[in-house]
């Protein structure tokens, strides 16, 4: 399936920009499939609309979120966790679209982590001014698998640090179709998104969509 979806990519492949040991940015890796990815996002949104979650401390997140896959990441006053059901709809999250799973697998292979079968995709929608503070993806039972993060829409500043919040943080511009992959020694690296500047994207308008693929269970 991966080969069928990605064997038409032009040239020798995307540029690879190392971020740290175990972390790489694949420039433009998803660009040729962006239209299909956006269409899949809209299908997921129709079944499980974006919503602003609340942190355990009671703060409303500026980023709107939804999920697809076997489980979805949720947050409320009781804590952070993965749940098989959408707490708003009271039914399972939408099935992960094949184009999502194929892209995540292909990016993992390209980054040197081998085959990857994510069971969760967190979809974040950023609007101008929204941000995601430095955090670790550590709610997953399987931290041996990498994280695959896909940028669509407006460009943003990706923050990528070390294993301690106080470690130096790189600021990297990510654009439509870029894919970041990290695992191994970088699997628990702190990362985030700086406040999104205003602008307009040809496909997504005044927003940025981020797909984060994880092996949660």
> Which residue ranges are tagged as binding site for 2-oxoglutarate?
124-126, 208-214
Binding positions are 73, 80-82, 124-126, 135, 137, 139, 165, 191, 208-214
> Residue 28, exposed/middle/buried by CB under 10 A (0-12, 13-18, 19+)?
middle
Contact indicator for 116, 103 with CB cutoff of 8 Å: no
Binding positions for substrate are 73, 80-82, 139, 165
Reduced to 3 states (helix: H, G, I; strand: E, B; else coil), residue 84 is coil
Contact indicator for 94, 48 with CB cutoff of 8 Å: yes
Binding positions for Fe cation are 135, 137, 191
């Amino acid at each position: 399936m991966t080969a069928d979806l990605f064997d038409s990519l032009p040239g020798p492949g995307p540029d690879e920009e190392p971020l740290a040991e175990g972390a790489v940015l694949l420039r433009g890796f998803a660009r040729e499939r962006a239209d299909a990815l956006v269409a899949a996002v809209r299908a997921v949104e129709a079944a499980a609309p974006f919503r602003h979650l609340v942190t355990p401390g009671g703060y409303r997140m500026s980023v709107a979120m939804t999920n697809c896959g076997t489980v979805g990441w949720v947050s409320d006053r009781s804590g952070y966790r993965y749940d098989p059901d959408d707490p708003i709809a009271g039914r399972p999250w939408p099935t992960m679209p094949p184009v999502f799973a194929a892209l995540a697998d292909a990016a993992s292979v390209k980054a040197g982590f081998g085959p990857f079968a994510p069971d969760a995709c967190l979809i974040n929608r950023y609007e101008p001014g929204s941000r995601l503070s430095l955090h670790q993806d550590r709610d997953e039972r399987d931290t041996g698998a990498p994280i695959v993060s896909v940028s669509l829409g407006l460009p943003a500043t990706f923050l990528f640090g070390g294993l301690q919040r106080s470690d130096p943080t790189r600021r990297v511009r990510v654009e439509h179709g870029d894919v970041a992959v990290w695992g191994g020694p970088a699997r628990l690296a702190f990362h985030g998104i700086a406040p999104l500047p205003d602008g307009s994207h040809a496909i997504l308008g005044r927003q940025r969509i981020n797909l984060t693929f994880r092996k949660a269970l």
